[in-house]
Structure 1
Amino acid sequence: MIESKAWDWSKNESSSWLVPSIETCYLSEVWRSKGFNKFLDLGCGLGRHSIYLAKKGFEVNAVDLSDYGVNHLKKWAKEEQLNIDAQVCDMLNLPFEDNTFDCIIAYNVIYHTDTEGFIKALNEIKRVLKDNGELFITLISKNTWSYQSAEKYKRVDDNTILRDEHETEKDVPHFYVDIEDIKRYFIDFDFVKIPVEETEYNMDNTKYFSKHFKLIVSKK
């Protein structure tokens, strides 16, 4: 199994990573209506989802492999006077008891590993998520240009390559899936929302398109 590697957030120049995803806005309302309270931001980055959900009244834990990201979140939370438990850890070994969380977000996170690491990370999510708890997760599609052009990169296994086009994620592994992979890996979950493959384009160079699946699943 490949060693986990953190994003280098010190090289980030995009303010988009400080703005919560639109799905988080939706999920905060849905999860609150279901009585969910204890939330894990898995791979919190700079903390955008943690801050948003803490403001919505959730009890927030946040973890990331990046010291820079976790320290940024801690400083941000202090400025906002929010109580967020943020710590550095590897997604392959989460420091929480079984059945701890009502809901988890893993946004552009657990595909930063190889196949063995992905399975282990998903098992850790299942372990710390309560029965009937929900996970929102994004996964990168095999239809993405980088996987289609995998000969340009070092291949780790059939689903994984090392990419180097962004300074923040230089040599960070990327694990890719298709629908059949999703069905196989998420056998222990019910699909709250059918997986949707969405495309994002780089408007400066449109050949660099990215396709992701967005899933909302419930632990059986």
Structure 2
Amino acid sequence: MKTDTADSHWDAEWAGIEAGSKWLTPEADVMAWADTLAPGARILDLGCGVGRHALWLAARGFDVVALDAAERGLAEIDRAGAVETVLARMDALPFEDHAFDHVLSWNVIYHGDEDVLLRTIAEIRRVLKPGGTFLGTMLSKRRLPYEQAKYAGREIGRNAWVFDAPGTDKVHPHYFCSAAELFALLSGFECLRLEDREHEKPGSWHWHFVAERLGVRP
């Protein structure tokens, strides 16, 4: 069964994006991370949406590729220009090994079951140069009881849930994990920073992490 289906929700969302939307504003964590990177580094923005991070990074001189499975988000980036866009699935990246110095994936890779997630992390590891960093987020298990209190839900596979929440992306599978489970998922990486943090709403817990791709640098 296909589980990485949330792009259908977001494709519709991007069609109606309005000026001032939070989805157009870069996250502070991304801006702080960018300050640690070498000028001109090649960055993959995996699950780029309408380009809030890709366009910001490109404006600061980074060599950015913006990838998403939602065509309408990529169309918004294409209208702005200055960033290469790629339509593809997150678990089948159309790039050569070690193609990027760094990878960013903000609120993206948890949209699917564990098989999709493991393939996606393996692909990120493959396209990332040894010593490169992966800035990402995941849903924390601490969030799950808050979702269960609001919506009827069912677990479709280990840690992967869908909810009866029409009009939201929660009708599509979402993966929730503990810190220990996240460390296990990040095989081939060394976790440099990890924090469980609420976003805008109470109970909206997300893991924020920076992980370094292990291996001998070329």
Gaps of 5+ in 1: none
The question of whether the paired residues in 2 share the 8 Å contact of 1:154 and 1:161 is answered with yes
- Counterpart position of 1:27: 33
State the match for 1:46 in structure 2. Answer: 50
Give the TM-score normalised by the residue count of structure 2. Answer: 0.87
Q: Which residue of 1 aligns with 2:61?
A: 57
Partner of residue 117, structure 2? 118
Q: Structure 1 length normalisation: TM-score?
A: 0.86
Measured in 2, the distance between the counterparts of 1:166 and 1:134 equals 36
Cα 1:112/1:49, change in 2 over 3 Å: same
What residue in structure 1 maps to residue 204 of structure 2? 210
Structure 1 CA distance, aligned partners of 2:152 and 2:17?
Answer: 24
Alignment CA distance shift 1:180-1:150 (3 Å): farther
In structure 2, give the amino acid aligned to 1:152. A
Q: 1:158 Cα deviation (Å)?
A: 2.3
Task: Answer yes or no: is the 8 Å Cα contact 2:156–2:162 preserved in 1.
Answer: yes
What is the CA–CA distance in structure 1 between the aligned matches of 2:184 and 2:164, rounded to whole Å? 29
Pair 1:73-2:69 in alignment: no
> Counterpart of 2:204 in 1: which secondary structure?
strand
Count of residue pairs the alignment pairs up: 207
Moved over 6 A (4+): none
Structure 1, residues 8-60: CA drift from partner, whole Å, max 9, x if none? 3235567000000001111111012xx56110000000100000100110111
Percentage of matched positions with identical amino acids: 28
- Quote the residue 2:189 is aligned against: 189
Give the C-alpha shift of residue 134 in structure 1: 0.4
> Which secondary structure state, in structure 2, belongs to the residue aligned with residue 17 of structure 1?
helix
Deviations 1:63-99 (A, max 9, x none): 101011111111122xxxx2x1102110011110000
Q: Which AA in structure 2 matches 1:218? A: E
Indicate the residue corresponding to 2:153 in structure 1.
Answer: 153
Any idea what the Cα deviations from partners look like across 1:137-173, whole Å, max 9, x if unmatched?
Answer: 0000011045554981132112011235373525221
The alignment yields a C-alpha RMSD, in angstroms, of: 2.1
Distance 2:84 2:27 in 1: 21
**Secondary structure of the structure 2 residue equivalent to 1:176:** strand
Q: Relative to structure 1, is the Cα distance of residues 174 and 59 closer, same or farther in structure 2, using a 3 angstrom cutoff?
A: same
Instruction: Give the direction of change, closer, same or farther, for the CA distance of 1:171–1:151 in structure 2 (3 Å limit).
Output: closer
- Aligned partners of 2:166, 2:100: CA distance in 1, in Å? 33
Indicate conservation of the 8 Å contact 2:3/2:173, yes or no. Answer: no
The one-letter amino acid of 1:38's match is R
